[in-house]
Amino acid sequence: MNTYLHRALMLVLACLPTAICAADRPPNFVIVFTDDQGYADLSCFGGKHVSTPRIDQMAAEGTRLTSFYVAAPLCTPSRAALMTGCYPRRIDMAYGSDFAVLLAADKKGLNPEEITIAEVLKSAGYRTGMFGKWHLGDQPEFLPTQQGFDEYFGIPYSHDIHPRHPRQSHFKFPPLPLLDGQQVIELEPDADYLTQRITERAVKFIDANKDDPFFLYVPHPLPHSPLHASPDFMKDLPAEVKDKLDNEKAVNYGLRRKQMFRPSISEIDWSVGQILDALKRNQIDDNTVVIFTSDNGPASGKATPLRGRKGSTLEGGMREPTVIWCPGKIPVGEVNDELMTAMDLLPTFAQLGGAALPSDRVIDGKDIWPVLTGEAKSPHEAFFYYGQNELRAVRAGKWKLHLAMAKVTAKGRGKEPGPALFDLDADIGEKKNVIESFPEVVKRLRSYAESFEKELAEHSRPAGIVSDPKPLTMAK
């Protein structure tokens, strides 16, 4: 039997008993996933340099998750983990072909044999839509419409992967493509309008599918640099800044990092408001789970009081500002500090949506719905921090053990301590190394790390590879 047909049949048959027992209308799911947004880059997480009233309102009506982790401190591996519920190294997505993330015309991508969160929910009758940045492979075999999404509009990788990149002489990137489904509809789209256009498509998807269960994934390309915002959100910028931004020859990464961060975040906040308003307008807000989070720590923003940034396995690189909202089902105005991860969303949504998990592979995520509703503690005995393919740290309860020797992760992103032990309850900023005082804790966490590395080696799966990758371009 054809491999893809066999996989689809397996999923459908497996989920039938569960779906029959499900409610008449299973819940909708929305994930808003930003790019390079730090732990302090929301007002409700203490940020004074940004204004996020709609997300703050979402937090007031829902719950802030203060120990919510992504599985990697960089774009591609973090997104692979979200989509599959697995640590990136398990599915060979912790590193690109020859760079830390996937680039244009990369031969590597998320293996079509992997079963994504979209495919799991689609097997239970969900409509699935994705609008934004993919970054899990730009070849036709790897695009979202081949990974369970009925609709897709967006860019296949980061918006700085284009001919105006500062290192273009080295990379030689092709023009940035904008896709609708698998069709390139524009080259070099105006990035100032990406947030607006993505939001419009997301709202249209909600309106069109209000009578059916749906999964909506909105991975915004921003606030990854270079920073952008549409004109309505740049009105408060000084005139001299606007003049420089209007002159494309004067645009540079430094200017956009410094002046455009607040407008960029404000437009993302507006986007979240538009989505919440659409749910309420269609009277499906009380049956929709909405999660706002980011793919990794900040490049331009702040992670206060955490230490570390994008690319680092310090807390600031992987602990994300996260809000969950579901009226009548999620505690209102509370803070939940239980350890949870982006990998947990796949099994959690599957359980809520009446879909069965695939039984032929290891999935690292856990069903965290009882944790989100305040009825249970974290199901994770340990959480593992990977920097590319290297296990650098492990957390169990309040303890975090850094395994690797000190190193600089990237220019300007600081050093990673190691070996070092931190009590995250007392020292969230990872400043006081207490490794000499708790040898039994160190021994226990090292044993977790050793066991997991062994298990991962025995139960890992390959990435997808194409033999002759080509840049995406418009059909002639």
Choice among 15, 135, 159, 220 that is catalytic? 135
- As a whole number of angstroms, the longest Cα–Cα distance in the chain is 67
Buried b (16+ CB within 10 A) or exposed e, 21-38: ebeeebbbbbbbbbbbbb
Query: What letter would DSSP give residue 227?
Result: P
Token code pair at residue 71? 């599985």
162 is catalytic: no
- 194-208 vs 261-281: helix axis angle to the nearest 10? 10
**Best CA proximity match to 290, nearest among 182, 214, 196:** 214
Q: How many CB atoms lie within 10 A of CB 426?
A: 9
Catalytic site residue from 6, 15, 44, 75: 75
Go through the chain and tell me how many residues it has: 476
- Give the Cβ contact number of residue 325 at 10 Å: 25
Measured between its terminal Cα atoms, the distance across the chain in Å is 36
Confirm whether 159 is a catalytic residue.
no
Which of helix, strand or coil describes residue 180? strand
Integer Cα distance of 404 and 385 in angstroms: 11
Give which of 367, 390, 361 is closest to 380, Cα–Cα: 367
Residues with Cβ within 8 Å of 222's Cβ and at least 6 positions away in sequence, in order, are 34, 35, 194, 195, 228, 229, 264, 267, 268
Residue with structure tokens 């390139």? Answer: 184
Tell me the C-alpha distance between 364 and 77, whole Å.
Answer: 14
C-alpha span between 333 and 193 (Å, rounded)? 33
> Which positions are catalytic?
75, 135
